[in-house]
A and B are shown apart, each in its own frame.
Chain A
Amino acid sequence: MNEDSYLNAGYTLRSWFFTSDHKRIAILYFASLIFFFFIGGAAATAIRIELATPQADLVSSDMYNRLFTMHGIIMVWFFLIPSVPNTLGNFIVPLMIGARDLAFPRLNLLSWYLFMLGGSVTLFAIAAGGVDTGWTFYAPFSTLYSNSYVMAAVIGIFIAGFSSILTGLNFIVTIHRLRAPGLTWYRLPLFIWSLYATSVILVLATPILAITLILIAIERCFGVGIFDPKIGGDPLLFQHLFWFYSHPAVYIMILPGMGVVNELISCFSRKEVFGYKFVAWASLAIAALGFLVWGHHMFVSGQSLLASLVFSFMSFIVAVPSAIKVFNWTATLHKGSIRFDAPMLYALAFIGLFTIGGLTGLFLACLAYDVHATDTYFVVAHFHYIMVGGMVTAYFGGLHYWWPKITGRLYSEGWARAAAILIFFGFNLTFFPQFILGAEGMPRRYHVYPPEFQVWNVLSSGGASILAVAYLLPLFYLGYSLFFGARAPANPWDAPGLEWQTSSPPPEFNFAVQPVVTRAPYQYSEAFKAEPQNA
């Protein structure tokens, strides 16, 4: 390992917990997210075991409510939203743009502490007895009727929201101000464009969640009727506010994944990303349109038909930039020199799974079909295809791709490919049956169901056990690589990005000399050799 690596910059606990190095903070986030991922995963495991039979044999109805709420809250706020931005993004963004750190390193550290504080309060809510409202906290149930630990969970998520805002703020300022000389906007890798779009959402949507949670907390504490129709409040207003945050938040949970996939597809087909400018602007278009479609969560909630029509139309429009990306990735593969390394397997899986998730999203944007599909497993399958099939797959792809840079070690390619393939099959077996269940009318959030649904539920639970194994595998072979893996060279994939032009693992301030960028990203020669951005 090179002597001046960031990992050698200090070995004390203090040098980690009070660091302002974006790379070390990324590692802190990595460790925390693994923890939360397995907590959320444990809840999912219990859910799938319960659903293997039509009767209630493992948990009570009340316990089941708490399980899926815990699964949702942990996975959305404590895994998916921070997943790519706060780990890979934190580590890679400054490297990719040729900067020595993020613009505000201490805010970055504060963001991690807030995240851990919010996470701890939320874990307290779970340990104390859990929350039974669903991750959406619909009022007036959450404010007036639920006897579970709603306040603690609300406070935990409120605090974690500030960690999101600080990260978004830091990325926006960093990308605007700290780009290397010569690194114009159209020379930025598309991962940066994606994270920029994500950050805009983090900064502009999260405060709406904050104020919504404040309103929930006040209604619950003081017994006033902000959302209670009995004394003039409007529960629909809660849904409008909540989804005005949570629909854009859905794009927080996919845009960074799309960004990762750009890097992978380009590197492993040894080609420039097709239609760079379209892909770049598609990210911003998705972020902007994301603010205009929240009403499609409320087609059966009693909003006006005109509003539903407009929201339906806008939701269809989101498919345009999303499809631009999928078509452009496919076009990038065309006539490329394709290598099926593990990160590429994840990227290809992403394209397939995201396409299925995206297209079923169009079913749900369709007013008539949505009335049938609302609150069924069709919706559950749809958003798991996007968030798990899409985002988690991209997260693993990016983790493998940048692993040599982050740790300075190589991992076992064979095991990595096996895990990638296993994830793909396990995932489809888990969630495809849920489309069928949903289309046949099985509602979500129930733990007993008619016996004729059992075959699909058994398939789904079987797939989930494969998926569980597949998600555990990287823990072992990446853990092994961390201590015993072969030393990684600076640029193991022969990629042109700036992050590969510094040593692995990078020194404390990333670059010995300030890189100067001279060309667009993703340039490969006729022989498919990388042409570094700063050469």
Chain B
Amino acid sequence: MPDGAPFAPQFASVQHRDETAEFGMWVFIATEVLLFGGLVLSYFVYRHAYPQAFMAASRHTDILIGTANTAILLTSSFLVACAVEALSMRAHTTSRALLIGAAILGLLFITLKGFEYADEYREHLIPGINFAFDGPLANGAELFFIFYFIATALHAVHMLVGIGLLGTFAARIGNAEESRIRTALHSAALYWHFVDVVWIFLFALIYLPGRSS
């Protein structure tokens, strides 16, 4: 029994532990894909049923904020990737700064999203609270906005978890065992990139229909 070993007893080595942890994150991402997958499937069912309404509703979304947020999130993912590289070169200060930067960009994303929600509230686009949409396409448009709010809110919850993770790592770098924190950060980065990829899909589904014509 490896008492006092730097890794839990079910592992044979530090490397064994680290690979196992990363594999766990991949399995978790698989489950997350299906979570968002169910939502995206429902979206497509209704978009197929009400193509005109979805285009009309999509034109009411704020593509400026949407695009800005996409750029912000991609940049933040880039910073996290750099932070992982920096940490493996033992550049703790750089890595911490990059993580803080990424977390701030994440918060910026959430803030902009908040402004977007506020605009939508003023324009009476929130189903169940104050939805009003003129014309025969109202039902389909309401469905669009139901999915818009569920998908973006679910995404925002994931963002908040991710921001919390990045903040924790920024605080702990240098204070915890090197290999352990590197693996943990690597897994957290995978998660952050996943949240980013989800947003890219949501961006296309939310902001782009009906914009080209």
Contact = CB atoms under 8 A, between A and B. Distances in A.
B129 to A, nearest CB: 7
Interface in B105-130: 127-129
25 contacts: A100-B10, A101-B9, A105-B8, A105-B10, A165-B31, A169-B24, A169-B27, A169-B28, A173-B20, A177-B20, A177-B23, A204-B31, A207-B32, A207-B35, A221-B128, A223-B128, A224-B131, A225-B139, A226-B143, A232-B140, A232-B142, A234-B46, A237-B42, A509-B9, A509-B10
Interface in B39-86: 39, 41-42, 45-46, 49-50
A509 B45 contact: no
A211 interface: yes
Contacts of B8: 101, 105
A253 B1 CA distance: 36
Nearest to A212: B38
A104 B23 CA distance: 11
A273 interface: no
Interface in A195-244: 203-208, 210-212, 214-215, 218, 221-226, 231-234, 237, 241, 244
B10 A102 contact: yes
Interface in A411-433: none
Interface of B: 1, 8-12, 16, 19-20, 23-24, 27-28, 30-32, 34-39, 41-42, 45-46, 49-50, 127-129, 131, 139-140, 142-143, 146, 150, 154
Which of B37, B38, B131, B142 lies at the interface centre, i.e. has the most chain A CB atoms within 10 A of its CB?
A: B38
A176 B24 CA distance: 10
Nearest to B26: A173
B38 A241 contact: yes
B38 A173 contact: no
A224 B38 contact: no
Contacts of A178: 10-11, 20
A478 B42 CA distance: 49
A172 B24 CA distance: 8
Contacts of B30: 203-204
Contacts of B1: 509
A94 interface: yes
A19 to B, nearest CB: 14
A333 to B, nearest CB: 37
Nearest to A238: B42
A437 interface: no
A205 B34 contact: yes
A232 B143 contact: yes
Contacts of B150: 214-215, 218
A241 B27 CA distance: 22
Interface residues on A, range: 35 or more
Contacts, number: 105
Given A177-B19, A218-B150, A231-B142, A104 B24 contact: yes
Contacts of A353: none
A103 B38 contact: no
Contacts of A215: 42, 150
B10 to A, nearest CB: 4
A367 interface: no
Contacts of B38: 207-208, 211-212, 241, 244
Contacts of A165: 31
Nearest to A211: B38
B45 A237 contact: yes
B90 to A, nearest CB: 27
A226 B139 CA distance: 10
Which of A212, A218, A226, A232 lies at the interface centre, i.e. has the most chain B CB atoms within 10 A of its CB?
A: A232
B184 to A, nearest CB: 13
Nearest to B45: A237
In the A-B complex, the 4 residue pairs with the smallest Cβ-Cβ separation, listed nearest first, are A222-B128, A232-B139, A207-B35, A211-B38
A198 to B, nearest CB: 14
Contacts of A102: 10
A221 B19 CA distance: 43
A36 B43 CA distance: 37
A349 interface: no
A176 B23 contact: yes
A234 B45 contact: yes
A207 B42 contact: no
Contacts of A214: 150, 154
